[in-house]
């Protein structure tokens, strides 16, 4: 079956680039706002990224979006 995962901070740049390439092909699934990654930076903070692909740390209590990625079979 299809396998979904929450991307790590190191996987984000290639996934954001792929999403941007898809958007240029009239895809309506564009990225906007900030999203969680699967990478934690401490007990109280975790890595997040924004639509431009910029990665930073965010307090874990901050409400952010989640963007799952799909593994190719």
Cβ proximity of 16 and 34 under 8 Å: no
Cβ proximity of 55 and 48 under 8 Å: yes
Is the Cα torsion angle 13, 7, 46, 60 positive or negative in sign? Answer: positive
Q: Is the pLDDT of residue 73 over 60?
A: yes
| pLDDT tens digits, one per residue of 6-57 | 999 988 877 766 555 554 554 546 778 999 999 999 999 999 999 887 899 9
pLDDT at 37: 94
């Amino acid at each position: 079956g299809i396998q979904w995962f929450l991307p790590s901070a190191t996987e984000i740049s290639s996934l954001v680039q792929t999403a941007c390439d898809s958007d240029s092909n009239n895809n309506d699934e564009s990225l906007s706002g900030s999203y969680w990654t699967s990478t934690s930076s401490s007990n109280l903070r975790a890595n997040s990224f924004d639509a431009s692909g910029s990665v930073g740390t965010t307090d874990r209590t901050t409400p952010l979006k989640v963007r799952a990625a799909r593994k190719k079979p």
